[in-house]
Amino acid sequence: MPKVTVYSTLLCPYCFAARRLLKNKGIEFEEIRVDKQPEKRQEMIQRSGRFTVPQIFIDDFHVGGYDDMAELNRKGKLDALFGGVLADTQSG
C-alpha cells in the first residue's frame, strides 16, 4: 500500500473532510499537524508549492488539497492510485 501523508491543522474543515474521506476508504495515513509542528509547514510548502492545508501526498505524488482529492475520488481515479484495491466503506 502506498504511503499517504496529510499535512493539516486541527481546526481546518477541509482537513477534517480529507481525513474523513481517507478513513471511509480504509486508507491509513500519516498526519503531520503543521499547527503543532510549525517547522513542518516549510517542508509542506517545499513539497507542494502551496501554502494552504491540507496538502495530501501518495508516496511522492502530490494529490493537492481536499478538493483535488475529492475530484479524483468522484472520477474513480483515487482508487486507481492504490491499484483499485480500495473498498469504499462510506454508506449512501
Q: Where are the domains of the chain?
A: 4-81
The three three-digit cell numbers of residue 49, written as one number: 508549492
Q: Please give the Cα distance from 21 to 14 (Å, whole number).
A: 10
d(CA 45, CA 49): 5
Supply the pLDDT for residue 86.
Answer: 54
Q: Which fold is adopted by the domain 4-81?
A: Glutaredoxin (3.40.30)
40-66 per-position pLDDT tens digit: 999 999 999 999 999 999 999 999 999
Residue 34: is its pLDDT beyond 50? Answer: yes
Evaluate if residue 68 carries a pLDDT over 80. Answer: yes
pLDDT exceeds cutoff 90 at 85 = no
64, 58 Cβ separation under 8 angstroms: no
Q: How confident is the model at residue 57, as a pLDDT?
A: 98
The model's pTM is 0.89
Q: Which helix (H) or strand (E) holds 91?
A: none
The number of C-alpha atoms within 13 Å of 2 and in the hemisphere containing its C-beta is 20
| The C-alpha cell that represents 51 in the structure block | 501554502
As a whole number of angstroms, the distance between CA 84 and CA 62 comes to 18
